[in-house]
Every structure is written in structure tokens, then in C-alpha cells.
Amino acid sequence: MNMADKLSIREKKALVTCAAKGIGREYAIALAQAGAYVAVVDKHFEAAKLIAEQIEKCGGRSIAIGADISIETEVSEMMEQLMIAFGEIDIAVIYTDNCIAKSIMETSLEKWQGAIRINLTSMFVTAKAVGMVMIKQGFGSIINTSSLAGYVVSEQPQAAYNTAKAGILHLTRSLAAEWAPYNVRINSISHGYMDCEIRGRDDAKHLLERIPMQRMGKLEELHGALIYLASDASTYTTGIDILVDGGFRCW
């Protein structure tokens, strides 16, 4: 098999969670553009439906599923719908992101638990449900999503968010070790400061000075890591995180 064939994900069945906007939407569209059949999952079903329709209009194949991935029963229902539509799952991109920019002293227990539930528990619930299917079928690639906040403490106070994102990295490694014997790979992608998230922030100039490439990332610059981990080019890769940050951690 040549490299172009190894990198191909054409005809593979994929799901992307929290895919109605932002990075989740970008991942869903990128997989569809590469030829995968994509399930756009989001708790806002109508918004997910619009993305699926957009993919279809551009020549791709997609379905929309409404599900809050922090709720186990909804994830189970999501998996049932996926198996009816696809019959199998090759790729699962588990994306979720909700930042609470508060110091610990300003963070109530309820807010803390909410941040962990949305950013980390939802990853566990969804990965477990997908993993059960992939282990049974004997193959699959799961791609979790973390962020630069899982590596470094932001100057902006956001301890709950940082903790959740760091937890995703270790959850990924733990599940990779558990599921490797079943030919199920789990990796993650961590994004640095992306233009769509930072534009207009008062500290944007300061952040640029800390990035060796001297610019924010573009969402399409996440595509390479995504396709590599989703494809057969990465069949001996599991338990790693690809940090797409413009070199932020070099300094």
C-alpha cells in the first residue's frame, strides 16, 4: 500500500461530537471532504442537521444525531442510531470544550463539577461507548481532543478547565494501553491558540509574542493531525497527543 492509500479515509464511517460549531464542525467537514461518511453529533440537533446538510450539498455524505455526550443514556441512544446507519464505526472524534475562566476562589463546587462533567466525564462516557463497539468489531481509531491548557497553566485563571484537559491526556493514554490488544487505537489532538478563539481578546498581542511562529493557528491547520490519526498511516500509533500550537511550548 502506498502512502496516498494509507492516508485515505474514503468510505470510512466516522462520528464527530459537539460538531455543530467551532473546532468540532471543522473536524466533521474535514473528514467529509476526505471522503468519510460522517455523523454530526451535537446536543443541538437542528444545528447539527444544518452542518450535515452543508456537507451533503458539497458532495459529502452525512447524518445528524442529537445527543448530549455528558449523559450516558443519550450516548447509548446515539450509538444505536449510529449502528443502524453505519453498521460499524471506523473513526470517532470526541470533541467537547467549555472553558470557565474563573479563579479557584471564584469557582463554586457546582461550577467545578460542571466543568469536569462537560470537558472530561463526557470524554469518558463517549469513549467507553464507542470502545465497546470497536472492541467487538476488532478495529477502530478514537481521537480525543484536549488543548494546550492540558500542558501549561494559562495566565487567565481557569483551573477547572486546565485540570479537565490534562485529565483527557492521561485518559487517552490509559485507554490506549487497555484497548491496544483489540486493535483499537486512541490518540488525541491538542490545539494551541487558534485565531477563531483569540480574535478580539485584549491579550492577543501578548500571546503572539509567546508563540515562535508569531501568529495564531488556523482551524484548517488541525486537518493534518486529524487525517493522520484517523487513517491507516498511523496503525502503529496509539496513546499519543499531537500538539498543534505553533511552537508555544518551545519557550
CA atoms within 13 A on the CB side of 184: 25
Q: What does the block give as the cell for 104?
A: 479557584
- Catalytic residue set: 147, 161, 165
In 3-state terms, what secondary structure has residue 203? coil
Cα gap 101→206, rounded to integer Å: 18
Please say whether the dihedral angle defined by the alpha carbons of residues 142, 148, 151 and 157, taken in this order, is positive or negative: negative
Q: What does the block give as the cell for 86?
A: 453505519
Q: In degrees rounded to 5, what are phi and psi of residue 25?
A: -60, -45
Q: What is the CA radius of gyration of the chain?
A: 18
Spatial CB neighbours of 18, under 8 Å, sequence gap ≥ 6: 24, 41, 42, 43, 69, 95, 96, 97
Q: Which of 204, 78, 77, 184 is nearest to 141 (CA)?
A: 184
Task: Indicate the helix (H) or strand (E) that contains 53.
Answer: helix 45-57
